[in-house]
Structure formats: structure tokens, C-alpha cells
Structure 1
Amino acid sequence: MAAQQQSKRNIKWVEGLRGITSALVIATHLARALDFPLFWPADEKDAPPRLLQLPYLRIPFQGRIGVPIFAFLTGFVCAYKPLKLAYQQNNTHASLMSIARSAFRRPPRLMFPAVIATFFSFVLSCFGAYTTANRCDSFWVRFDAPDTKAFPQNVRRLFRALLATWTSTENVYDRHQWAMRPLLIGAFQVYIVLAATIGMRFKYRILVHVLLCAYWWLNVGHLTETFGSNLALGTLLAELSQHRPTQNWIQAHQRILTFIVAPILLIFGGYIGSYPHEKENYAKWSLDLLHWLVAKDDEGSRGSFIVPKGAHPGRRCTSFFIQSVAISVFLSHSLQNLLSHRLLTWLGHHSFAVYLTHGTILRTVGMWIVYGISGQPWAPPGRNEDGSPKEQEYLHPKSGTHKIVAIIVFTAVTYTAAWAWMKWVDTACARATQWLEKRVFEDDSEEKSSFAEKGYANGHARNGSAAPLKFSEGDKQSPP
């Protein structure tokens, strides 16, 4: 009972971690848009690094960190409730029904808001709001911003984008939605694993989760370290968070885990996670990481345990860091309490709205402040007097002060928009999903009667409901 209460009390850390992640996404995209060299260990080879280019301090700004954390949290959250029902109530049927309902809710809860966010961006595109973003000197912003098209072409492009978000992950109106499809697929991977293993004994369920973690880590396919390995770890930790002996052991060793194990994991994982986006040869520490982790020689990459041969070094290192953080938080109740702070949970509650709105606001309001609203002066590409192609001249920032003002205004507008989104848009999407769920699934009274009609509970209904599943002593689903 004490372990269960502890689990209930500290589950807010998930929301807090999600809140920090949304802030990291904003920091990363600001760096991409306004100061891309922060992704490097130094501005030039052998040049002294800036403060935010140093190991550890560079992690929030170098990218690659937000989506993998969302993948871990997806694995944890999708698995937590079904496992809780199986552990605390010994109710396999209720657990399977929870999986079924969650699997039904997941697509509309992701798709409805994503469609609305895409439509808002489409409307802004029709009014030329991305003109400045199309003409600024930040290549990443130009790539992210939809170019100007005639209205009929824009409408056709909208429908292609709405479909492509869930097929090829390409959405020209909001490219940050590229992660929606793999996160949706990842959630269903978790549901399949839960449905397939819910009747297993505890040690064999754990074995399945561990094997999946190992499989995704050794798999060098595209983005497997971003999604597969973190989803599997989330499911594994959700399982262990319900296991009383594991929780009792963690409780009994809190001092060692909090003050020794967790700091070691965070320090070592943070150093590995500082691996730069590119230009590893610009600093000695990053070049040492390159030789140690990727182990390049005349024959190419030999690989390592952390970065297997053929894997993407940056993403592998970031995933290693995220998994170090996840395990540290799981082991330390102090870190869980820290992440349960009201401010962090508020940020976490608004994280999905921040993810959907921040890109559009950055490419409009943010760029307007830095470069001007009109997108002028602008000369289209042409040719020089000698007939050679004329190099395109892009807009330059007005000043460093304008960048600072843009960061402040952009952040304030983004979280205000996220608050409004959660209050009206997300609430409407939740109601629509709930209406669909009620139409599709039987309610409790219908479910009870259908159990009796279909011969559940040995063919008899007890007190108007199906009898709870019973297990022999050797087949208990809840560990002692």
C-alpha cells in the first residue's frame, strides 16, 4: 500500500518532465532560427567556444532532445494505466478494455489538434504572413516557412499536407508535426506489447521489455534511437513503477540512489549527450567523443556500444542522455518531487499546445520583430551584367536587441496562445473524442449485460456484473 501511494503521489513528475521538454523545444528552435552556430562546439575550428557551446550547457540549444523525451513519456503514459489495473485490481479484462479505449482515443486526440494547427498556418499563408520568413537570412526558417502560392494552389497544398502528415510526415505549413506520425505508431506499438504480455508472469513481461529495449538500441534503422528505444524504456519503467518489491527496494536505498547513482548517470549521460550536431573537429572534447564513440579509422566507423556501427552519432548520444535522465528520475524520489512543482506541471499541461503553436508564431511574430513585417527591401534573383547568376540577397536582422525582444515576445505569445489553445481548442477536441468514444464503445450497463449474454463469469452474472477474474496462487498477476 505504501508503494502504491508513493507511486500515486509522484506520478506528477511525468507532467513536469513534459513541461521542461516543451521549453527545450522552444530553446532549440530559437537557436536554429537566430544563432545556428550554437549547434557547433565552436564558431570556427580551434576558436574559443562561447558559453552555450560548452558541454552540458549546450544541451538545451543543440536540438535532438525534445521529441525523444516525448517518445519516452508516450511509452510510460500509454502503459501506466493498463498496468495499474492489472497490478492493483488483478483485472485483466479491465486492463485490456483500457488498452482498447486508449488506442481508440489516441488518433483523434493527436489528429484533431494537428489539423486545426495546420489550418491556422494555412490561413496565415493565404494572407502573406510568411513573406518575411521566406526572405530572411536564416536558411532553417526559410525551409520551415511555406512559400507564397495562389489561393487555389494553396488549398490543394493544404489537403496534401493534412494527408502527408500521417503518411510521409511532410507538412509544409508546420514541419514540426513530422513527429506526430511516429509518435502515433509508437503508441500502438506499446498497446500491442501490453495486449500480448498482459497475461504473462511478471518476470517474463520484464524479459520482453528488456529484449525490446536491446532490439531497438541495436537496430540502426532510421530514427530507431529517437522513438523505438525510448518507447520501450518508458514501457519498462511503467511496469517497474507498479512492482511493489522494486519500489520497496528503491525506497530502502533512496540516499544512495539520489546522491550517488543519479548524479553519476546525469553527469556521464550529459557529457555523452553534449555530442554536437556537426563540426565535431572544432573542439578537442567533441573530437575525443567522435574517436571514442564512433571510432573512425581508415576503414570507416567501427562503432561502439553507445553508437553502434551505422547509427547516427548525434541522435544516439542524445538518446543515451535521455535514458540516463529517465532512469535517474525513476530511481530518485527527490527528482520526482522536483519535477512535480506546480510551475513545471502547468508547463507540462500546455506542452502539446506549445508544440503545435510555437512554430507558426516563430515564423511570423518572431521573424517580424527581427527582420520587419514587410519583407523589404527585396530583389528577386536574376543575372549579373555578364549573364552569370546573381547571388540572392536575403534580409538581415535589424540588430541584436531586436533578437532579444523577439525571444521575449515570442515566448510570451507562445505560452499565451498555448493557454488559449488548451482552454478552447483542446477542450473541444477532447469533447469530440469523448463523443466518438461513447458512440463506439458500450457503456458500463451495456457491457455488464453483454458479459452475461456472452457467457462470461462461467456463464452467470453476479450481482448484475461479470465475476472478477480469479487466479491461482501460482498465476497471480500482481507480484507480492
Structure 2
Amino acid sequence: MSKPSSQRNIKWVEGLRGITSVLVITTHLARALDFPLFWPADKPDTPPRLMQLPYLRIPYQGRIGVPIFAFLTGFVCAYKPLKLAYQHSNVPASLKSVARSAFRRPPRLMLPAMIATIFSFILSCFGAYTASNHCDSFWVRFDAPEYLPFRKNVRRLFKSLLTTWTNTDNQFDKHQWAMRPLLVGAFQVYIVLAATVGMRFKYRILVHVLMIAYWLMNVGALTETFGASLALGTLLAELAQHRPTQNFITKYQKFFTFVLAPMLLLIGGWVGSYPQEHEDWTEWSQKLHNWLVDPEGDQSRGSFIVPKGSNVHRRASAFFIHCTAISIFVSPLFQKLLSHRWLLWLGHHSFAVYLTHGTILRTVGIWVTYGISGQPWEKAGTNEDGSPMPQEWVKPKSRSHKMLAIMMFTALTYMAAWAWMKWVDTACARATMWLENRVFDDEDNEDRAGLAEKGIPVLNGNGILPRPKETIRVERILPPP
């Protein structure tokens, strides 16, 4: 007999979040220290390295971390309100849960992101990014803030604190570009929940499916990454509460675990292996490109997975994430594996890893690889004919220095994440809780202040109703029966 939906394992969500945080730092290490891993081969006529082959390249080539966070946002934001609506048939409590979650989400994202930005600002004031500005890794140079005089740097700080949430630009930590889409996406989930919580099950499912279809047909930037992933998370959160669906999965769990789930991972992984650049350098990537982007061979149309006009890289990665999410959802074995305590620990620290790893990579990681001073380096001038001279950048000390940098960076990142969760995130959570308690009425019964604000008579401190005159005044503003 299957377990009731209230007892089903959803710890896998935290485990998946933990794996995602590892993938994020893995791809950023590849970008910083070995960018050709994003290609199917180092050069057109050379065989690919092991980590450039299909499937094996996925952790290094990036593009999958943020879509997973989007899917998890949709699932987590929807799960509790739907649980209240399903198991307790309490629509008012579900709506109140949505309201509290919507209020809580901005400060829980904004406060930690602001503190991380200020830390990076302080380091920039002391020239901690000089080595990053002078190294031969163009991605690191793009990612690191240039040195500015203190007054201009302060202005840049306040601008970054604002633009992180307006146009996704943060000069001190460009990795925060995903914060705004994830915040907006969470409110997309809240709106859908509030609009559909009173519907019958089949119509709610129809809404979620239509939302996925809408975002997949939309070829605008990032829509397939965030919109469809968010809607899929909400759909699976809905099905996780639906007893017949869970009983069906339990009844055929061997088929789902050993046939359907691996098949989804194989198909999704093949599509998700689409390289970032130079897809024409190997036969497999060229065939994949033709199948996804140009099936007719004349650029006339795209494919079902990559419609014409959409971003093939993000579409391919989003398709892989959707296949992965469904395979986990239908496989109790995969869910159990993702619930391992080590993965849960990684998941608990994932947001802290996301906020701290970029700063540590651009400082300690680059210091070990290139040297702290970033010297010798001179800004390129011009030739005698006035043409610009090619810029010479600082080279890595050695391959062993790169390996040492990776080990030190990884250790420091998770040490910083542990300290962040212990002190910084705890302080932000307390501040958010204090603010929430000030703004909202008590969970179980509305407090005296809340009732008084609404003009409803309440007992005074002695357990006596207000004077008749006050009661009459209150009753006069109420509508007649």
C-alpha cells in the first residue's frame, strides 16, 4: 500500500538543490580556468577530451544550474499552499500561506544578496580584484569589478544594489543576475496558486500545462529557462499531493524507475550536451545542431525543442532539466538517493554557496593561479601608426597552481557557506520573521490590534466589551443585514 501523500519523501528537493550548487561552482571553475571545456573539442581537427564528450560535458558546460533553481522555486513555493488545500480542505489557510510566502520571499532573497554585494565592495576598495582584472581569462576579467576611487566605488555600490533587481546587473557580483528572474518567477507561482486554488483538480492541472506550453512557445529571452521550469515545478507539486497519481506511481514504480526514468535521462542528456560554441567541430555536435536548429537544412524553421528564434543553448539545457525533474518525480529510488544526508547538507548551504563562491573565485582562486599582485602587467598603448597594440595579460603560474587553486577555492567556499548559514542567513531569517510578525496577524487568531484596525469590537484588558457608545459607532459603519 502506498504511503499517504503527507508522508511522501520530498527531501529529494533539498538534495537536488545541493547537487545544483556543486554544478554551479564546477561550471564557473571551467569558465575561469579551462574555457575550452565548453567546446566539443579544443580545435577543429583534434579529438575531444574526455570531459568534452556528450553527457560527461554537462556538469562543466553550465547552463543547467539556474533552470534547476527555477524548477525548485516552482515546486517549493507551491507545495505548502497546495498541501493545505488538499489535505485539510482549507482554502483560506492556503491563501494565507501564499500571502505570507509572497511577503517573505523578497527580504529572504534581497537581504543576503545585499550583504554579499557589500562584502565584494569592501574587497574591491582594497584592490582585491587586481589579479582578476589582469589575468588572461577573459571571463574572469568580465566578471571582476575594475578598481575605482572610493567615492565612485560607493556610487557604483548603490547602483548595483538597485540594478540587481531592475535589470539584473550587479557590478560586484555578476552571478546575482539570476536573482531577479527567480524573484519574479516566485510571484508568478503565487499568482497562479491564488487564481486556481478554488478550481477542481483537472482544471488546475490544465492551467499548469497551458502555462508550460505558453512559455515553451514564447521565444523571448530566458522564457524557456524560467517560465516553463517554474510551471513544471508547480505542476509536479500539484501531482505530489494527488493520491491517485501517487498510487499509480507506486504501483508501477519498477517500470518508472528502471525504464522510463533512465530513458528520459538519456534523451534529455543527449540534447543537453549541446556545446556552447563551435558545434561544427565534431560530428556528433553537428548532427545535434542539425536536428535541433536546422532540420530542413535551409534555416527555414527550428524544431519542437528549439523553435526558430529561440536560444538553442538555453532550450537544450531546459529540456534536459525538464526530463531530469520528471524522472526524479516518477522514481522513488532516485528520490531516496537524493535524500542522502550529505546531499541534504549541500542543499542546506546551496544559497550561501551561490552568493559567496564568485567572490572567493575572483580573489583567492585567482591569487593562487596568477599571483596576488597581478603583475607584471602594463596597459597596451598604440603603435606608431596609431593602431592599438594587442594587450598582454598575465599567464597562470602552472598547472599545479590551477589544481591547488581549485582545492583551496572549493574548501573555502563551503567553509564560507557554513559560516554564512550560521550567522548571516540566520540574522536575515530573524529580521524577516520579525517583520512578518509585525505586518501579519497571528496565525491562529487575529490579534487585538488587527481587529481594532478593521473597526471590529474587541474585549479590553479586563475582558469587557467597549462602551456602548463605541459599539454603536462601529455598528453604524457596518452594512445592514
Q: TM-score range by the shorter chain?
A: over 0.9
Letter paired with 1:309: K
Task: Give the partner amino acid of 1:303.
Answer: G
Question: Could you tell me how far apart the structure 2 residues matched to 1:73 and 1:190 are?
Answer: 11
Identity of aligned pairs, percent? Answer: 72
Q: Distance in 2 between matches of 1:414 and 1:445?
A: 41
Runs of 5+ consecutive residues of structure 1 not aligned to the other structure: 457-480
Partner of 2:459: none
Question: What CA distance in whole angstroms lies between the structure 1 residues aligned with 2:453 and 2:420?
Answer: 44
Q: Per-residue deviation at 1:8? A: 3.5
For the residues of structure 1 that align with 2:383 and 2:192, how far apart are their CA atoms?
Answer: 62
Amino acid at match of 1:270: G
CA contact (8 A) 2:441 2:447 kept: no
Residue type at the aligned position of 1:244: R
Compute the RMSD of aligned alpha carbons.
1.8
Q: Return closer, same or farther for 1:445/1:264 CA change in 2, 3 Å cut-off.
A: closer
Separation in structure 2 between the aligned mates of residue 343 and residue 432 of structure 1, nearest angstrom:
29
Instruction: Out of 85-94 and 40-49, give the one that drifted further.
Output: 40-49
Match of 1:4?
Answer: 4
Matched, 1:156 2:155: yes
1:188 correspondence with 2:187: yes
TM-aligned CA distance change 1:264 to 1:455, over 3 Å:
farther
> Aligned residue for 1:273?
272
Q: Structure 1 pair 453/203, CA: closer, same or farther in 2 (3 Å)?
A: farther
Aligned to 1:347: 346
Taking structure 1 as the reference length, the TM-score comes to 0.92
Tell me the distance in 2 between the aligned counterparts of 1:347 and 1:8. Answer: 23
CA contact (8 A) 2:120 2:173 kept: yes
1:369-409 deviation digits (Å, cap 9, x = unpaired)? 00000111011221235543221100000011000000000
Residue 264 (1) aligns with residue 268 (2)? no
Alignment of 1:352-391 (within 5 A): 352-391=351-390
Matches of 2:192 and 2:87, distance apart in 1 = 19
User: How far apart, CA to CA, are the structure 1 residues paired with 2:28 and 2:8?
Assistant: 34
Letter in 2 for 1:4: P
TM-score normalised to structure 2 length: 0.92
Q: Where does 1:76-475 land on structure 2 (aligned, <5 Å)?
A: 76-295=75-294, 299-444=298-443, 446-447=445-446
> Counterpart of 2:279 in structure 1: which amino acid?
E
> Secondary structure at the residue paired with 2:98?
helix
Instruction: Show CA shifts across 1:169-191 (max 9, x none).
Output: 00010000000000000000000
Q: What is the alpha-carbon distance in structure 2 between the residues aligned to residue 277 and residue 451 of structure 1?
A: 58
Structure 2 CA distance, aligned partners of 1:68 and 1:147? 29
Partner of 1:477: none
Measure the CA separation in 2 of the matches of 1:39 and 1:445. Answer: 53
Q: Output the amino acid matched with 1:3.
A: K
Counterparts of 1:406 and 1:373, CA distance in 2: 12
For each residue in 1:109-163, what CA deviation from the matched residue of structure 2 results, as whole angstroms up to 9, or x when unmatched? 0000000000000000000000000000000000000001000000000000000
Give the residue type in structure 1 aligned to 2:4: Q
Assess if the C-alpha contact under 8 Å between 2:382 and 2:388 holds in 1.
yes
Q: Give how far 1:278 is off.
A: 1.3
* Aligned-residue offset at 1:447: 2.0
The residue type paired with residue 199 of structure 1 is G
> Aligned equivalents of 2:226 and 2:455: distance in 1?
41
| Contact 1:3–1:244, Cα closer than 8 Å, also in 2 | no
| Amino acid in structure 2 at the alignment position of 1:319 | A
Q: After TM superposition, where is structure 1 displaced by more than 3 Å over at least 4 residues in a row?
A: 296-299, 384-388, 448-456
| Structure 2: distance between partners of 1:363 and 1:8 | 44
Deviation of 1:448 after TM superposition, in Å, equals: 7.5
- Secondary structure (helix, strand or coil) at the match of 2:223 reads coil
Letter in 2 for 1:67: V
Match of 1:460 in 2: none
Any conservation in 1 of the 2:2–2:250 contact (CA below 8 Å)?
Answer: no
